[in-house]
Amino acid sequence: MTSHKTIHKLLVANRGEIAERIIRSARALDIATVAVHSEPDTHALFVDAADEAVLLPGAAPSDTYLRADLIIEAAVATGADAIHPGYGFLSENAGFARACADAGITFVGPPVEAIEAMGSKIAAKELMEKAGVPVLPGATIDDAEEIDAPAVSAMADGIGYPLLVKAAFGGGGRGMRIVRSAADVVEAVTGARREAASAFGNSTVFMERFVEDPRHVEVQIFGDTHGTVVHLFERECSIQRRYQKIVEEAPSPAVDDALRAQLGDAAIAAGAAIGYTGAGTVEFVMAQNGEFFFLEVNTRLQVEHPVTEEITGLDLVALQIQVAEGEPLPAEATNVTITGHAIEARIYAEDPTAGYLPGSGILHRFRIPDLPGVRVDTGVRDGSVIGTHYDPMLAKVIAHGRTRSEAARKLARALSEAEIHGLVTNRDLLVAILREPEFLAGKTDTGYLSRHEPATLVGTPASTAVAVHALVAALAGQAARRGTATVQRPVPTGWRNVASAPQHAEYRLGDTEIDLTYRVTRTGVQAAVDGTPLTGVEVVTSRPDLVDLRVDGVRRAVRIHAVGDTVYCDSVLGGTAFVERPRLPEPGTDAAPGSLLAPMPGTVVRVAAEQGQRVEAGAVIVVFEAMKMEHSVRAPVAGIVAELAVVVGETVESGAVLAVIEDEEEGS
């Protein structure tokens, strides 16, 4: 039993939305807060939210948020008597938890022994098997071992295919590969080890039997220092891309009361086996027949904890703090019930139709409508800079409803009305998932996005939306120009008493070129997009930020946000981002034919070809790392590597030429 110790000042050893989330709960408990931050995060939302802040010099996580020594120094310097690690970074680092104890600082998390027990997925699996929790067969390749191709192949053959190669220390999809044949296993292990070493500082991986298209179901557990361990029901986290969750919900639509009791009992047994205290999550893979197998224990708060909070009415961060102070779990946690349904969607700066390629840049606008039953956890705001050093998640949007259908509808509406400008995001994919029949029927598993290609789910913008928004972009631009005119400001630009040629504008929407002609008349607007007329156009209001117009008798208001040459249009038709084409483009801006360009800033980790080498279409030429993931740049056609412009370790900017491939057909 632990005596009570009041926490007066809490240092949050994390960043982004989870740091802001922790600060919010600490303030409600009248606990002073300290933020630590890297140089790129100097003006971040969570830094402003904290009472005090300490700079960690540098940008890379290894120089900042992974520096336990600097974080302990910041706690001592500010008089913080407790540290909350959030999730990721040092949250499951037993050495950090021990360093906190050595410094006399309360670690808001489980005991060091529990973190150590679960820090190795291999040891955790063995421990769970002894505790009677179902596990999958597997094998381990230690950090110190050299890759022995025959031995690796033999181990894989013994497990059977398909199998999963996974980093033993870490998570979030990094250092993870699915292998379906013996021919691919050595390359998968090699790549997973390299990625694991980069992300977690340890290249140990293990292989285990892969359950095809299972559900990913996890159980929230909570323990206190008085020997009580409870479960707070399950979460369904099956919809994932690149092994990372994007839609989570509670409770699971596939779990009935009997199965819920079995899952809960297994999770409590897992927690009891390691003497767990605080918030933790026991993750399971669940086959279609309802059988479930232990995956891992996350000895920290999960990203998706808000859905549990919404259905239970509990503040899990506040509970973490109270348990760390030595308080027993309150009755509302030990006698918890489920109320309604909650669904969470993670908004990422990424392009789902381009292999979920993460993006970086300035977030010019970030607005989620304030709707009843909708919660937004975010660490960004208008003007935030999204860099390449950290995870590209912008926000979590959570909806709670009486039923699953109601929660899905609320969330879809909130996301569809969101204004997110400056970066490509997965917002449209999330909306499409929430409105898709299979999802609404609760038939989700980890193969969902394999069956439903993002490009198909999202589709292309409707012709009506493109046409109306293109005209609106032009009218808003016209209004902006008239607003700065020095003479005849009320007269629309291009006005003629005697009609002559119409006005003309050219836009680019993604890879699509759009040609717009329009003329303002006494009775309305005559317009055509790519030669197709828009009929019955009447302008009700035309401002630089809002155009309200009727087209064929249907009135719609379109919100406008112009940033440089880009015009963002948001309405009931959806969101579009037009780039106005310059009339006189600068010369020399085109790369040489056959150039392979970096799709985003990153660091080259492997050059897989040599100058002069013949390569097939699709062959990997360069592998670079950005936002904690590896990305392969492949040859678009068969040909000769005429030029290699980068070397391993080199940092490249978005659009940089990595290599040049000479097309064989063109060269013959």
Residues with a known catalytic role: 300
Kindly state the tokens that stand for 31. Answer: 């606990």
Q: Residue 413: CB partners within 8 Å, gap ≥ 6?
A: 369, 371
Residue among 27, 38, 35, 46 nearest 11 (CA): 35
Question: CA dist 262 to 216, 230, 461, 464, Å?
Answer: 15, 13, 46, 51
Report the alpha-carbon distance of residue 301 to residue 67 in Å, rounded.
20
Token code pair at residue 110: 């489980």
CA 536 to chain centre: 42
Rounded CA Rg of the chain: 27
Mention every residue, 6+ apart, whose C-beta is less than 8 A from residue 360.
349, 386, 387, 388, 392, 423, 600, 601, 627, 654
- CA neighbor of 206 nearest in space, from 291, 135, 137, 128: 137
Cα separation, 350 vs 247, in Å, equals 15
What are the structure tokens assigned to 75, written together? 């706690």
Residue type, 320: Q
Nearest to 249 by CA among 173, 298, 304, 314: 304
Asked if 471 and 548 touch (Cβ cutoff 8 Å), the reply is no
Identify the CA nearest to 395 among candidates 36, 37, 45, 35: 45
Amino acid at 588: G
Lookup result for tokens 């100097």: 42
The letter for the amino acid at 491 is V
DSSP state of 154: H
Query: How many Å apart are CA 108 and CA 178, to the nearest integer?
Result: 35
Of 564, 635, 577, 632, the closest CA to residue 600 belongs to: 632
| Cα–Cα dist 234/217, whole Å | 7
Give the containing element (helix H, strand E) for 472: helix 463-483
Contact between 371 and 343 (Cβ < 8 Å): no
Decide: 165 and 189 in contact? Cβ < 8 Å.
yes
Q: How far apart are CA 665 and CA 638, in angstroms?
A: 8
Q: What does the longest C-alpha to C-alpha distance in the chain come to?
A: 90
Alpha helices per DSSP H over 173-249: 185-200
Q: Which residue has the tokens 């308080």?
A: 327
Cis before 251 (ω within 30)? yes
3-state class percentages of the chain: helix first, strand second, coil last, to nearest 5 = 30, 35, 40
Question: Two tokens at 228?
Answer: 């009580």
Can you tell me the distance from the alpha carbon of 631 to that of 43, in angstroms, rounded to the nearest whole number? Answer: 29
What Cα–Cα distance (Å) separates residue 466 from each residue in 322, 472, 509, 513, 577?
A: 53, 10, 9, 11, 10
Tokens at residue 229, please? Answer: 């361990």
Place of tokens 């870490």: 170
